[in-house]
Chain A
Amino acid sequence: MITASDKFLFQCKAISKSFPGVKANEDISLSVEKSQIHALLGENGAGKSTLVKIFYGLLQPDKGEMLLEDFQYQPKNPKNARSSGIGMVFQHFSLFEPLTVLENVLLGLDLQVNKTEVEQNVSKLSEVYGLEIKLSSFIGDLSAGERQRVEIIRALLQEPKLLIMDEPTSVLTPFEAENLFSTLRKLSDNGTSILYISHKLQEIAELCDTATVLRKGEVIGEYDPKLMSPKELGEIMVGQPLTTPNRPETEKRKEKLFSFSAEKVESETQFGVTLKNIDFEVSTSEILGIGGVAGNGQDELMQLLIGERIQNGVFIHFKNNDISQLNPRKRRGLGIAFGPEERLGHAAVSQLSLLENSLVTDPKNKFTDYSGFIKFETLHDYTKGVIEKFNVKTTGVKAVAGSLSGGNLQKFVVGREIEQRPILFIVNQPTWGVDALSATNIRESLVALANKGAGIILISQDLDELLEISNKVAFLSEGTLSKPIDTEEAVISEIGAIMGGLTEKEAI
């Protein structure tokens, strides 16, 4: 039995939860104090999501008990959790884009309520917590930060005692993140406890009072993030020392390798992004980082870079050849490799074996003979080589891609391209959803490739990653790409302003 205490708002004890073949949570105990901002820190797959889903009634624990204030707490479903006083804001929003903010808020409420009353409550909440939002705007027109505000308002209308935030900054610019932090601080000052899930160490140090670290489904300990460096905390999270790769050496940058220029490319879909004034070059041995929050034109740009969409008015040159009209296969044949963001269903197919997935991109026609027959031996050796070199954890070359964890599949997909020794590698979010150690390995292999003379275009939302390994960085905002700046000279505040869509001048 756990006993009630005045100090704690929420306690869980000895929570265990298994899925077929995996122990997601093992004997987890944790206590959240009143008004506390409590971080739940861990790598992907550490069991954070499972745990909070149990708290929010989406999953039932196999064992263990929970206590909310002085009462036993056993939510059967999220509605149950909300009425007991636990709210949650998910990483992926559940909002209807064609509807207005108010309509979305009304749809999300459990009880039938008076519309004007809700309007009043929302404007009151907006004022108190700095959650500015226009009730009549359509969700489709809002930025990610604004959408998140709608989600938070929706959660706050139920007056939660504990608000669970799942990786809230993953979709925000640094500026938007600062706003979020001040909202969360106000909430905590007014007595709401917050369980803050993240693997970003910097922001935990900045925001949270305490951090419970999970690793492989178990609690490693509770730490005070204000007393430790992010690196120390990261090493506790990963369970081994972390190294930081250096960016490629500058002196090798000589020749211009690749250039892209487009004045305006209309979006093909209603909620897509129209690209405007995009201009950049990449030299040999150079990593060009393209940052910015997802949904600002990354996917549209990637499509044009790969050649999945061929559009007049887009000018792409590679080693002085005009490749604007070439299909992906022909671009690959020239030595360009691509790593799209979506691992399953785009870069790889979940139902196919790794062997077959190696065959998806075959730039030099190594795996087929002149009449199109597959050379299984070559394919087998190559795939095995990728698995070994990139430390992909799998049962073998015949394992289907869908059986690999996200991180391992990412290592495979990136490895598959790098092992082809491309002259230019264009990759979107290579470390998204990948554990810290694998992410470091992937970054190191990118740097190694660049040091051998290849150019790399690294599209990423992870600012730390961009600053760590890229030589130049530019930011996409609402379809416009800022002028690339040298990362060694970049200042964070300047970058934040650029990401928010301001020009460099305005930022200063």
Chain B
Amino acid sequence: MFKLEPRVEFSPMISFLGPLFSIALTMIFGGILFFFLGVDPVAAIKMIFWDPLMSETFAEYSRPQILIKAAPLILIALGLSLGFKANIWNIGAEGQYIMGAIFGATFALSLYPSESVFIFPAMIIAGIIGGSIWAMIPAMLKVKFKVNEILVSLMLVYVAEQILALASLGFLRNPDGAGFPGSRNLNDYPSASNLELINGTGIHLGVLISLLMVIFFYILLFRHSLGFKIKLIGHSPKAYAFSGDSPNKMVVICLLVSGGLAGLAGLFEVAGPAGQITIDFNVGYGFTAIIVAFLGRLNPVGIFLAGIIMALTYVGGELTQFMLNLPAAAIQVFQGMLLFFLLSFDLFVNYKLKFLKD
């Protein structure tokens, strides 16, 4: 028999090494998985982690793709990390992401084909509002009726997906689209388009804002009293109550921020890389961002790095799909492994395993 004993002393190295070890273990076990799928594991791992950045054939296409995919992950993960630190669990960023996109697109398309310069800024605000409203539902239910926010936020993802289908088949359907589902392409609507700022780099406004948010969140968490309060309530709700604020305030703030940022990410996506509202607009950024938040230790700089790595597995995963014929599900398993190993490693960061003689 064995038991887990809480560790008395922590080494700061461990929390840094944890993610690295998890990535290494994911490579090993992912490699085994790929081997059994009949693919050369070394080639597959190299294609996921190396080729998107360095390969002569792919890098030109993949590098911008990495930024495009990392930006929403980082943006959403930053927002989620606030709540996760405070033990407020927004699992429904995917839904908030969808709602941000729908709000922004609906606003822009309802004014089509306006050429006003205010369209895009107003869309950004609409996107934030859309995501926030969707996150306010679990927040209010928790505050008023003590309903678990995990369940509500998660279930609202599926509601958002239905609204997405409704939008692409109904109220947002492209009138010139020959009856096909999906909205007008915003890339053909200049005043509503989220353009690349520098051609061929993939850098659009959302990428820049993600970077600025990393800095902003760093300051918020380590220099501002709100960051302290989030830490306080996360460690001890009782001490937080003693300090004098209402826990409900924190529920609202955390869900508002994470919902707003998810909505913002959705808006940048629909106006830029995706271009239009379609039934399959969402590709799981909202869920993957949960992995990114934990992989980055809920630390803004960590989340930035984790977002890049996660985007790498997306882009590399796509490469393996069409180069090595690996199924898409294999890549999802691969990403899941990363979170699994990270969380298991966390257990050993906080506890030590002790074998009992009897």
Contacts and interface: CB of A to CB of B under 8 A. Distances in A.
Bound together? yes
A57 to B, nearest CB: 14
Interface residues of A, number: 30
Given A349-B232, A373-B223, A361 B243 contact: yes
A340 B8 CA distance: 25
A23 B226 CA distance: 42
A332 B235 CA distance: 22
A352 B225 contact: no
Given A356-B228, A374-B223, A346 B243 contact: no
A338 interface: yes
B352 interface: no
Q: Secondary structure of the A side of the interface? A: loop
Given A328-B244, A349-B232, A356-B231, A372 B225 contact: yes
Contact of A345 (B228, B239, B245): B239
B224 interface: yes
A329 B228 CA distance: 16
B228 A346 contact: no
A306 B242 contact: yes
Contacts of B223: 373-374
Interface in B205-250: 223-226, 228, 231-232, 235-236, 238-239, 241-246
A307 B242 CA distance: 8
A351 B241 CA distance: 17
Given A20-B8, A346-B238, A360-B239, A374 B232 contact: no
Nearest to A330: B244
A89 B232 CA distance: 37
Nearest to B242: A346
A368 B236 CA distance: 21
A308 interface: yes
B232 A308 contact: no
Given A372-B224, A373-B225, A327 B242 contact: no
Contacts, number: 63
Interface string A69-105: 0000000000000000000000000000000000000
B7 to A, nearest CB: 11
A351 B6 CA distance: 13
Given A20-B8, A372-B224, A374-B228, A360 B235 contact: no
A374 B242 CA distance: 19
A308 B235 contact: no
B224 to A, nearest CB: 5
B27 to A, nearest CB: 32
A427 B203 CA distance: 57
Contact of B239 (A20, A329, A349, A374): A349
B228 A359 contact: yes
A329 B236 contact: no
A345 to B, nearest CB: 5
B224 A329 contact: no
A351 B228 contact: no
Contacts of A51: none
Contacts of A106: none
Contacts of A342: 238
Interface in A289-348: 306-308, 327-332, 338, 340, 342, 345-348
Interface in A196-252: none
Contacts of A340: 242
Interface string A367-387: 110001110000000000000
Given A345-B236, A349-B235, A352-B232, A308 B242 contact: yes
Interface in B171-230: 223-226, 228
B239 A328 contact: no
Given A346-B239, A347-B239, A373-B223, A329 B244 contact: yes
Nearest to A21: B8
B246 A327 contact: yes
A328 B242 contact: yes
A185 B133 CA distance: 71
B8 A328 contact: no
Nearest to A346: B238
A318 B244 CA distance: 18
B339 to A, nearest CB: 23
Interface string A353-365: 0001001110000
Contacts of B236: 345-346, 349
A352 B242 contact: no
Nearest to A356: B228
A267 B225 CA distance: 34
Nearest to A348: B239
Nearest to A306: B242
A347 B231 CA distance: 15
Contacts of A20: 8
A372 B246 CA distance: 17
Contacts of A338: 242
B235 A329 contact: no
Contacts of A361: 242-243
B225 A368 contact: yes
Contacts of B246: 327
A352 B244 CA distance: 18
Contacts of A351: 235
Given A349-B235, A352-B231, A360 B225 contact: no
18 contacts: A307-B244, A327-B244, A328-B243, A329-B243, A329-B244, A330-B244, A338-B242, A340-B242, A345-B239, A346-B238, A349-B232, A350-B235, A356-B228, A356-B232, A359-B228, A360-B243, A367-B225, A374-B223
Closest 4 CB pairs of A and B: A329-B244, A328-B244, A372-B225, A349-B235
Interface of A: 20, 306-308, 327-332, 338, 340, 342, 345-352, 356, 359-361, 367-368, 372-374
Given A346-B238, A372-B226, 12 more contacts: A331-B244, A346-B236, A346-B239, A348-B239, A349-B232, A349-B235, A350-B235, A356-B232, A361-B242, A374-B223, A374-B225, A374-B228
